[in-house]
Amino acid sequence: MSTLLESYAAGRWFRPADDGEPLLDAATGEEVARISSRGLDVAAMVRHARATGGPALRSLTFHERAALLKALAKYLLEHKDELYALSLRTGATTRDTAVDVDGGIGTLFSYASKGVRELPNDTVVLDGGLERLGKGGTFVGQHLYASRPGVAVQINAFNFPVWGMLEKLAPAFLAGLPSIVKPASQTAYLTERAVRLIVASGILPEGTLQLVAGSAGGLLDELTVQDSVAFTGSAHTAGILRRHPNVLDGGVVLGVEADSLNCSVLGPDVRPGDPEFDLFVKGVVTEMTVKAGQKCTAIRRVLVPSSLAGEVVEALAARLAKVSVGDPRNPDVRMGALAGLGQREEVRKAVEALRASSDVVVGDPAGAPLLDGDATRGAFMTPLVLRARPGATEPHDVEPFGPVSTVLPYDGLDEAVALAARGRGSLVASVVTHDPEVARAVVLGLAPWHGRVLVLDRDDAKESTGHGSPLPVLVHGGPGRAGGGEELGGIRGVLHHMQRTAVQASPDLLTAVTGRWTTGAARADTGVHPFRKSLAELRIGDTIASEPRTVSLADIEHFAEFTGDTFYAHTDAAAAARNPLFGGIVAHGYLVVSLAAGLFVDPAPGPVLANFGVDALRFLTPVKAGDAIAVTLTVKQITPRSGADYGEVRWDAVVSNQEGQPVATYDVLTLVAKTWEEDTR
């Protein structure tokens, strides 16, 4: 008998109490594994995640969590051959598997990198700026994101057994939430293999990843207000989950990625022979055939100007004729099998429903000869293009989750947008055009109905990742029928898992809470210039307040001449006098910032290694000849970089005039050595 899949639960591999149901090879029909979750204690899994995984994860900073994701990505990359070999059994070609396996690993890398670059080396994320709530500045407000002490349950569809797991795991992990992954049974053997690799690597803290192989059983019954469910699958199952009492009344957050009738629109500006015409046809064929069309983002509706519908169908037929279908073990096969005979039956039913108002114009619904493979035991299917008759409704309602697309002719951009909207919300749309006006009209028309819109033309085609590829840095999800969920999107995907809270406090206590110096909080002048302190010695709030310096007309003239910035406000007294904001010659803002650097800097070699930028620079009050400016520089945030012997220090800089009015405020960004020995100075 083949392998009985096991769940990874509460720190050990759990073998089910029965022999389970068979899972069949998509191409040969042979048994690959058996699956069951009978006897699995899902309540213990939830307790383990809460008691062991969550606390372990939340004791790490974002940077430490990101480092683990990077180590995991490297590890899986080294072991991906195992996954590739097993993936063939899902019906996937090597090209399809790259989308699943390498796409998943790439998502881990992307989150690892974003976690370090865009999140603090801390456990709290600030959202937006400081809100001054009282006139005296002693009562301020700050939004922040904190980790939830819950568990993230991730239920996935059968089509991406590796990517589906990793794209949900990575943002939740960064957010400090342990995951319980429940893959679709059909292809769960591949997810199980990936989880075995992950567990064997020992990289992730125990309890941060658990696996349910088989039915979810009563998992949702165990969830409560700090927990979440991220679901990818059919609208039908989504409906069942939405009605679960813990979702309806128990405060469990449910995110849904469901059916989607994505479309691609050929712009009315495009003519046969234009590069965009070929790009459009190629895009449709790619989306129909990668993963045998079993992609939530695949193009189901092909919207073309009526006058070109015939030519588009001919071009699709010509391209599809080159797509060889068969057993993915044969390297000449371009399109493998659907995940199983059950799935193929579903697609065939969907095609029958579509035929009520559309005609098959490319491909034979009865099937065509295979390049390789057993046509009776394998879930093979010939790609089919249908053409909708006027007034067709089914193409906007029925999702054939396979290599099937329907051409819908349109007249005018308004009709194209209206047809796209009849999908009632989709994950992604594309418009293929080289006309700026068409691009704007269609994108703005499609945007409310889609989570992502690709504008494809001859200029971006070469680098474009295509219509159907969700990218870790961009939002994946769509409104309405597509589920209304949102995943990925870079750090947005992490923040979805965290709680945003508005904190009101005094500046000192807010500084203590956030770990970031807040305007109005205590400053400490320790008598040692902060540029002489290494990261180990610097403290939040360390300050240097400079002596004043008078800005002369000669300074302004010199700066104008030296830099070539002879803008009239700095050089022409009469013209500057007529300027309603200045009323006379003023110093260049950059002169003020440069002079400020001269005032705060400690020049000798020391732990400050470099100035790598400024943030949020604002010039608030004009500086005139004769004004005396001084600067106060305060350590605002300290971010050690793991793997480097330096870190980032963000300094709050306030330049004031002799009246005490702020003339410029900004953050100075520097790199500072973690340690600095006296004898190396």
Residues near ligand NAP (CB under 6 A) are 155-159, 182-186, 215-216, 232-234, 237, 240, 257-260, 296, 399, 401, 427, 482
Least Å from the CB of residue 518 to ligand NAP: 40
Asked if 379 and 91 count as a contact pair (C-beta separation under 8 A), the reply is yes
Q: Which is nearer to ligand NAP, 211 or 385 (CB)?
A: 211
Q: Does residue 476 sit in helix, strand or coil? A: strand
Least Å from the CB of residue 292 to ligand NAP: 13
Rounded Cα distance, 381 and 370, in Å: 9
Q: Which is nearer to ligand NAP, 346 or 415 (CB)?
A: 346
Least Å from the CB of residue 355 to ligand NAP: 20
Least Å from the CB of residue 260 to ligand NAP: 6
Q: Which is nearer to ligand NAP, 428 or 586 (CB)?
A: 428
Q: Which of 658, 368, 670 is nearest to 533 (CA)?
A: 670
Least Å from the CB of residue 478 to ligand NAP: 7
Q: Does residue 488 sit in helix, strand or coil? A: strand
Q: Which is nearer to ligand NAP, 342 or 605 (CB)?
A: 342
List beta partners, residue 500.
145
Rounded Cα distance, 114 and 372, in Å: 43
Containing H/E element for 556? helix 553-563
Q: Which is nearer to ligand NAP, 4 or 553 (CB)?
A: 4
CB atoms under 10 Å from CB of 514, counted, come to: 21
Q: Taking the chain, what is the end-to-end CA distance rounded to the nearest angstrom?
A: 71
Q: What are the counts of helices (DSSP H) followed by strands (DSSP E) for the chain?
A: 21, 28
Asked if 276 and 433 count as a contact pair (C-beta separation under 8 A), the reply is yes
Q: Which is nearer to ligand NAP, 46 or 638 (CB)?
A: 46
Q: Which is nearer to ligand NAP, 182 or 396 (CB)?
A: 182
CB atoms under 10 Å from CB of 567, counted, come to: 12
Q: In the bound complex, which residue of the shown chain has the CB atom lying closest to ligand NAP?
A: 233
Least Å from the CB of residue 428 to ligand NAP: 10
Q: Which is nearer to ligand NAP, 113 or 234 (CB)?
A: 234
CB atoms under 10 Å from CB of 236, counted, come to: 9
CA 3 to chain centre: 35
Rounded Cα distance, 680 and 658, in Å: 39
Question: Mind telling me the catalytic residues?
Answer: 257, 296
Least Å from the CB of residue 42 to ligand NAP: 11
Least Å from the CB of residue 240 to ligand NAP: 5
Per-residue HEC secondary structure of 120-182 comes to CCCCCEEEEEEEECCCCCCCEEEEEEECCCCCEEEECCCCCCCHHHHHHHHHHHHHCCCEEEE
Q: Which of 466, 386, 433 is nearest to 277 (CA)?
A: 433
Rounded Cα distance, 681 and 678, in Å: 5
The dihedral over CA atoms of 50, 53, 54, 57, expressed in degrees to the nearest 10, equals: 180
Rounded Cα distance, 576 and 578, in Å: 5
Rounded Cα distance, 514 and 498, in Å: 15
Q: Which is nearer to ligand NAP, 233 or 520 (CB)?
A: 233
Least Å from the CB of residue 208 to ligand NAP: 20
